[in-house]
Amino acid sequence: MAAEKEYDLIIRNGWLITMDAAGTRYPSADIAVENGKISAIGSSLPGSGKEEIDAKGNVVLPGLVDAHMHMTLLRGIGDDLPLMRWLYEVMFPKDAQIQARHIHAAAIMNQAELIRGGVTTFLDIFRFPSESAAIAEQSGLRGVFCPQIIDEPAGAGETLESNLAFIEAWKDRVPERLYTWFGPHAPYSNFPETYAKIAEYAEHYDIGYHTHICETEDEVRQIKEKYGKSSVKLLDDVGALNPRFSVAHGVHLSPEDIELLAERGVGVVHNPSSNMKLASGVAPIPELFAAGVKVGLGTDSNLSNNNLDMFEEMRIAAFLQKLYRKDPSVLPCEQVLRMATMGSASCLGMDHMIGSLEVGKRGDIIIMDMHQPHLYPLLPEPNTNVIEQLVYSASAADVWTTIVEGRVLMHERQVRTLDWAAAQDLVVEMAQDLISRSDIWRRLGREA
């Protein structure tokens, strides 16, 4: 008699919402992971797992993908300021003083939050990416790291050179879990030639790149005045638009911009909380979908959101379009859940490996604790309201278990891979240090 099959991980009896192309859901099924990949889905799978989790009728989802965020530290400092005061008295002074140790502390805090909120893959565009990547080695999350290159003003960010050095240093360090990309900041802070060079380098290294685009009306005006065209057209004219490229925000896009993004296969990452908080505007999400653009979802950062709760982000994405279009049927909940999973995965060029629960894909899985008052009544299949409850009522705090490549990063809300309790004092100390170095309290008229 053959030995019993042993998997690395089996989740039993889950309500599987696969987010595959057909939208398949299993009211009760097992899902097994072997060598980091989903190797079986079915009822009462024979065999055993080195780790077995009983999902007891709870919901099993593909891990959420936060396709645009910054590993920032100073949550809740300088909120509610007019935009120019915020930029000149908080953001720029802070960015000029930031050091690797600040990012180290921020990365522990942010990655602990991501794990607790069911995010299994994130794209981080910011400073000192080695610090964040080193924490991700330990946290077990899947990450894409984009050193944030700023040409003007010089010294405000990473450089093309530091980006290249980072790629060289990390390219083989954690294959297929930690990715090194290029991170040009924005068309108003980078030269068009930088985008042109990056497009070539990206092809050479076979990697992606990511930028901010058309976030504010100011940017649109400024680029138009300087170059006589839109940011999207500008980057297309230097050969930078292609499927390796994903852009964040895309709030102020013309129909021609949208057409170009669709033709060139560029993904757009929507950040609705940030766009509301910073008064940027409302992105044309239905038009992007209609044009066939890949659309993902991101939290932007704890400075502009102020949390990394992708459930809240889904809810706000839907509500904002309903309000803005004066039609409650716009952007229905299943489409929003798809944005946060397959949509974001395709913006990262990873839709073949994550974003849905399918055999052969990576074992990036979350389990939701559904038996709570705010998720009831929970109706069984086939006439269920499970997607409605997840998108319109759930929050990050309802994530029970977070798994990447079959490794359990959190279970029963206990994070296993990062020691948050031990890091709390360090996070406050580093925040105080950065505030003090950048003289923020004095700039804001408070006593230090």
298-317 positions binding a copy of itself, by CB under 8 A: 302, 305-309, 312, 316
Give min distance, CB of 106 to a copy of itself, in A: 9
Give min distance, CB of 219 to a copy of itself, in A: 14
Give the up-direction half-sphere exposure of residue 78: CA atoms within 13 A in the CB hemisphere. 29
Contact pick of 52, 54, 79, 287 for a copy of itself (by CB under 8 A): 79
- Specify the residue, 44 or 329, whose C-beta has the smaller distance to a copy of itself: 329
Binders of a copy of itself in range 352-371 (CB under 8 A): 371
341: Cβ contacts below 8 Å, ≥ 6 apart: 19, 61, 62, 63, 64, 65, 355, 356
- What's the CA gap between 95 and 226, in Å, rounded? 25
Site size toward a copy of itself, by CB under 8 A: 78
Q: Are 44 and 100 in contact (CB under 8 A)?
A: no
- Specify the residue, 202 or 399, whose C-beta has the smaller distance to a copy of itself: 399
Binders of a copy of itself in range 55-74 (CB under 8 A): 73-74
Give min distance, CB of 263 to a copy of itself, in A: 30
- Specify the residue, 41 or 404, whose C-beta has the smaller distance to a copy of itself: 404
- Specify the residue, 288 or 333, whose C-beta has the smaller distance to a copy of itself: 333
- Specify the residue, 111 or 211, whose C-beta has the smaller distance to a copy of itself: 111
- Specify the residue, 10 or 278, whose C-beta has the smaller distance to a copy of itself: 278
Give min distance, CB of 347 to a copy of itself, in A: 23
Give min distance, CB of 10 to a copy of itself, in A: 26
Binders of a copy of itself in range 374-433 (CB under 8 A): 374, 376-379, 382-383, 385, 388-389, 392-393, 395-398, 420-421, 424, 427-428, 430-432
SS (H, E, C) the chain: CCCCCEEEEEEEEEEEECCCCCCCEEEEEEEEEECCEEEEEECCCCCEEEEEEECCCCEEEECEEEEEECCCCCCCCCCCCCHHHHHHHHHHHHHHHCCHHHHHHHHHHHHHHHHHCCEEEEEEEECCHHHHHHHHHHHCCEEEEEEEECCCCCCCCECHHHHHHHHHHHCCCCCCCEEECEEECCCCCCCHHHHHHHHHHHHHHCCCEEEEECCCHHHHHHHHHHHCCCHHHHHHHCCCCCCCEEEEECCCCCHHHHHHHHHHCCEEEECHHHHHHCCCCCCCHHHHHHHCCCEEECCECCCCCCCCCHHHHHHHHHHHHHHHHCCCCCCCHHHHHHHHHHHHHHHCCCCCCCCCCCCCCECCEEEECCCCHHHCCCCCCCCCCHHHHHHHCCCHHHEEEEEECCEEEEECCEECCCCHHHHHHHHHHHHHHHHHHCCHHHHCCCCC
Residue 319 engages a copy of itself in binding (rule: CB under 8 A): yes
Contact pick of 41, 77, 253, 410 for a copy of itself (by CB under 8 A): 77
Binders of a copy of itself in range 258-287 (CB under 8 A): 273, 275-282
Give min distance, CB of 290 to a copy of itself, in A: 17
- Specify the residue, 41 or 399, whose C-beta has the smaller distance to a copy of itself: 399
Contact pick of 151, 242, 441, 443 for a copy of itself (by CB under 8 A): 441
Give min distance, CB of 374 to a copy of itself, in A: 5
Question: Looking at 62-70, 107-115, 195-203, 221-229, which segment touches a copy of itself (CB under 8 A)?
Answer: 107-115
CA–CA distances in Å: residue 123 to residues 183, 340, 404: 10, 13, 15
Give min distance, CB of 364 to a copy of itself, in A: 20
- Specify the residue, 163 or 216, whose C-beta has the smaller distance to a copy of itself: 216
Binders of a copy of itself in range 202-231 (CB under 8 A): none
Give min distance, CB of 220 to a copy of itself, in A: 14
Strand partners, 414: 411
Binders of a copy of itself in range 1-30 (CB under 8 A): none
Give min distance, CB of 11 to a copy of itself, in A: 22
- Specify the residue, 240 or 316, whose C-beta has the smaller distance to a copy of itself: 316
